[in-house]
Amino acid sequence: MDQLIIAGRSFNSRLLVGTGKFASNQDMVAAMEHSGSEIVTVALRRVDIDNPEDSILSHIDTNRYLLLPNTSGARDAEEAVRLARLARAAGRLPWIKLEVTPDPYYLLPDPIETFKAAKILVKEGFVVLPYMPADPVLAKRLEEIGTATVMPLGAPIGTNRGVQTRDHIAIIIEQANIPVIVDAGLGAPSHAAEAMEMGADAVLVNTALADTPNPAAMAQAFRKGVEAGREAYLAGLGTQRIKAEASSPLTGFLRNE
């Protein structure tokens, strides 16, 4: 069975789902269910003590989904580490999606702070899944210090532009010894399929599912896109044959030509 393995744990689904930006909890739950996902991300925020909300946890069956807290909001390593420790104190698995985004316009990840935070968190025993720029050298450096995966962005968060960073992601996939999860910017099932066809191990999608009239249907479409892409990758995608223009055959000498 073709399973996704992260930190020794196996998953059948290669589609991770974010829980942000949905119009309602019902929409969120419907999207999760139709996505077939087994890993969902959540964020950490202050409780409004005067008006405490219904906790998101009452809508997520944590027996069914692995809860992956993120450190969204962190602008530097220190804030990210603090959020990670808070998340861990909530008594879940010590898995953390590390996000350090000092720039509020594009929410692009800070490579230096991400690396710093990852180093600390790995030492503290976290299973670290770092959101990062599509930088092949950074990917190897994070792998080297012990992150469980790398999560290079396809395009800036929420832009729905697809795998804009495809050339660098291809290099990351080629060189990685740990799972590569393409995160951010995937706006259509075809984008998710493209990432999977390239050999990505999984994708994470949020905005595309939340910002649509029918989250359940879109989640199902993404599910199929991810599965199709993965199957195509495993079946072996062809390379475009370029006609060689060798003036004489390169191996002719073997046949005394």
The closest alpha carbon to 169, from 144, 146, 145, 203, belongs to 203
Please say which residue, 28 or 182, places its beta carbon nearer to other proteins.
28
Minimal distance, residue 142 CB to other proteins, in Å: 12
Which residues pair with residue 205 across a beta bridge? Answer: 17
97 catalytic per annotation = yes
Instruction: Single out the catalytic residue among 97, 116, 224, 243.
Output: 97
Tokens 């692009």 label which residue?
108
- Choosing from 5, 57, 112, 232, the residue that interacts with other proteins (CB under 8 A) is 57
Which residues pair with residue 10 across a beta bridge? Answer: 5
The closest alpha carbon to 223, from 31, 74, 42, 77, belongs to 31
Question: How would you list the strands of the sheet with 151-152, edge to edge?
Answer: 95-98, 127-132, 151-152
Residue 45 to residues 14, 20, 52, 72, 213, Cα–Cα distance (Å): 27, 12, 12, 9, 26
Work out whether 239 is an interface residue with other proteins (CB under 8 A). yes
Spatial distance between the Cα atoms of 255 and 26, rounded to a whole number of angstroms: 70
Interface mask toward other proteins for 88-127; x: CB under 8 A: -xxx------------------------------------
Minimal distance, residue 190 CB to other proteins, in Å: 19
Angle between helices 189-197 and 215-235 (to 10 degrees): 20
Candidates 4-12, 82-90, 121-129, 212-220; binding stretch for other proteins (CB under 8 A): 82-90
Minimal distance, residue 237 CB to other proteins, in Å: 7
Question: Contact positions toward other proteins, by CB under 8 A?
Answer: 18-22, 28, 41-50, 52-53, 55-58, 67, 69-70, 72, 85-87, 89-91, 140, 157, 174-177, 184, 199, 204, 206-207, 236-239, 244, 246, 249-251, 253-255
Residues serving a catalytic function are 97
